[in-house]
Amino acid sequence: MKKLNGTLGIGSRLLILTVLLLKGCGNQTGSGNQEEAGVAVETGMQPNFVIIIADDLGWNDVGAYGNASVYTPNIDRLAHQGVQFRQAFLTTSSCSASRASILTGKYPHSNGLVHLHQALPVEEKTIASFLKPVGYFTGAAGKWHIGGAAAKDFDLVREDKQDSATRYWLDLLRERPRDQPFFIWLASRDPHRPHDGGKEFIEKYDLSDFDLPEGFIEGPGVREELLDYYLEVSRFDYDVGRVVDELTEQGVLDNTFVLVMSDNGRPFHPGKTKIYDDGIKTPFIVHWPRGMGEPGEYEHLVSAIDIAPTVLELAGAQIPQAMQGRSFTSVFSDRDHVLRRYVHAERNWHGKNAHERAVRSANFLYKENQYPDHGDCITGMWRSGAPFQALLKAHERGELGVRGEVCFAEARDKVELLKVSDEGVDYINLAGNPEYEDVVAEMAHELRLWRESTGDFDYEHYEPPPRARK
């Protein structure tokens, strides 16, 4: 347990009622810099914020997102009562870099935490530092994974590296000062490997009666390993329910902006570490009865870097120019507002050196691979798992489709254009198809604008930090 600032309360104070003067974001290029939000303030109540983040949860491994096999009643309830974003994307598909991106409102190559196991540079500021001047208590509990320097921005951090990493969640909610609005970051380890928890939910599952997700191949132990993953998803759901119950008991749920999401995709091919949809797409559920607008499914493109400016706008805080996201508060009052035409993602180091950049529109995913001669197969403990072994045997038999063969390609195309539909990503590369020349040109142009405007680094002369090579 680590306490960073022993002074938790700051006494009674005037609180701020945020009255949003909602503005559209007309700039659709990759720069993403939002115009300064116009807010008026008067005495009242600022919203509270609770960000609940899973570790390696696939975007569609929640009941509300169409997975009928997994048991997630608490998350599903929040989704049905709140706003369920169906097209929400992360900036990368690696734990540390993804979390730092959420907390800073900046892309990994911009905030300096590019690789797994790096620390956020000391000069970088997280969302917590901008909330304190407008009266917020800021706390974090659970898995941290972005280094000690970032913790300085919070009043209280309780890091937990054991089991699900949720044992301090309720303590933090109960210990918070009651005379301040609060921003609290609650990070679970579920459903990260090794999948050895959640056994108390085994009765909710029938091993023989759930569907294998797309891309999984039947084989010895496959269903058992997937079940172990689902059990930890259910444990995460249970912990979400405990948080909601605590907020309800404290009488603050109605004015608490609760966001449930993941830091990257499921730890199965082609999820975690990849910047396909299975790696960078996330469940994204906002529950805020007092201010979220009409509940339902929202199809707006939204990026993880949009969380920080959204929170700051709602809190009545200044949104720094350095933040690269844009507030999505406008969609709460105008379902037809186009927030973004594109979202962007990157891959740098996680087990191997890489330099991949992607731009995603409503209909296409465009990727540039600067190391096309590098294969893309999963590494580490994944390879020993039953799902990978089943994929490998199907590959050896020549029975895998295009999606599965991505894992085993010794080299990849330098440029990829993949079509996206309601059924998911079609892994047939359209970049060489004359019918899609205009789309390739459009997406390549957008990616170039984004790289230039965000100061992306030169991969040819870049070496990962020594720690990241471990």
Domain containing 268 — which CATH number? 3.40.720.10
Query: What Å distances lie between residue 216 and 195, 198, 207, 220, 223, CA to CA?
Result: 17, 22, 15, 12, 9
DSSP string covering 97-152, please? HHHHHHHHTS-HHHHS--BTT----TT---HHHHHGGGT-EEEEEE---S-SGGGG
Mean pLDDT in residue range 296-310: 96
CB 359 within 8 A of CB 458: no
359 three-state secondary structure: strand
DSSP string covering 314-355, please? HHT----TT------THHHH-TT----S-EEEEEEESSSEEE
Q: pLDDT for 240-298, tens place per residue?
A: 999 999 999 999 999 999 999 999 999 888 888 889 999 999 999 999 999 988 899 99
Residue 33 within any structural domain of the chain:
no
CB 323 within 8 A of CB 309: yes
Q: How confident is the model at residue 2 (pLDDT cuts 50, 70, 90)?
A: very low
pTM: 0.89
User: For the chain, what percent of residues have pLDDT higher than 90?
Assistant: 69
Q: Given 312, 340, 368, which residue is the final one in a domain?
A: 340
Query: What Å distances lie between residue 174 and 75, 137, 249, 252, 294, CA to CA?
Result: 22, 13, 11, 12, 30
HSE, CB side, 13 Å, CA atoms: give it for residue 390. 18
**pLDDT above 70 for 339:** yes
Same domain, residue pair 207 and 349? no
Return the pLDDT at 333. 87
Residue 37 within any structural domain of the chain:
no
Return the pLDDT at 354. 81
Q: Given 292, 323, 340, which residue is the final one in a domain?
A: 340
Q: pLDDT for 143-185, tens place per residue?
A: 998 988 889 999 999 999 989 999 999 999 999 999 999 999 9
The 10 Å Cβ neighbour count of residue 197 is: 19
Same domain, residue pair 176 and 221? yes
Residue 78 within any structural domain of the chain:
yes
Q: pLDDT for 30-61, tens place per residue?
A: 333 333 333 333 335 899 999 999 999 999 99
Q: pLDDT for 76-94, tens place per residue?
A: 999 999 999 999 999 999 8
Show the tokens assigned to 221.
């132990």
Return the pLDDT at 470. 35
Q: Which residue has the higher pLDDT, 64 or 268?
A: 64
Residue 13 within any structural domain of the chain:
no
Q: Tell me: cis bond preceding 270? Omega within 30 of 0 counts.
A: yes
Return the pLDDT at 44. 53
H/E stretch holding 169: helix 169-175
H/E stretch holding 186: strand 182-187
The 10 Å Cβ neighbour count of residue 293 is: 17
Q: How confident is the model at residue 209 (pLDDT cuts 50, 70, 90)?
A: confident
Return the pLDDT at 465. 58
Q: What is the β-pairing status of strands 38-40 and 156-159?
A: unpaired
Return the pLDDT at 393. 93
Same domain, residue pair 248 and 390? no
At residue 192's C-alpha, the angle toward residues 186 and 194, to 5°, is 135
Which DSSP category does 261 fall into?
E
Q: How confident is the model at residue 424 (pLDDT cuts 50, 70, 90)?
A: confident
Query: Cα–Cα distance between 215 and 344 in angstroms, integer?
Result: 24
| Angle formed by the axes of helices 95-104 and 307-315, nearest 10° | 30
Single-letter residue type at 271: G
Q: Which residue has the higher pLDDT, 212 or 116?
A: 212
Residue 398 within any structural domain of the chain:
yes
Residue 378 within any structural domain of the chain:
yes
Query: Cα–Cα distance between 436 and 452 in angstroms, integer?
Result: 24
Mean pLDDT in residue range 377-396: 80
Query: Cα–Cα distance between 369 and 227 in angstroms, integer?
Result: 34
Residue 470 within any structural domain of the chain:
no
Q: Given 292, 317, 340, which residue is the final one in a domain?
A: 340
| Domain span including residue 403 | 345-456
Residue 415 within any structural domain of the chain:
yes
Q: How far apart are the first and last CA of the chain?
A: 27
**pLDDT above 90 for 129:** yes
Q: How confident is the model at residue 404 (pLDDT cuts 50, 70, 90)?
A: confident
Burial (CB < 10 A; 0-12, 13-18, 19+), residue 172, is buried
Return the pLDDT at 24. 34
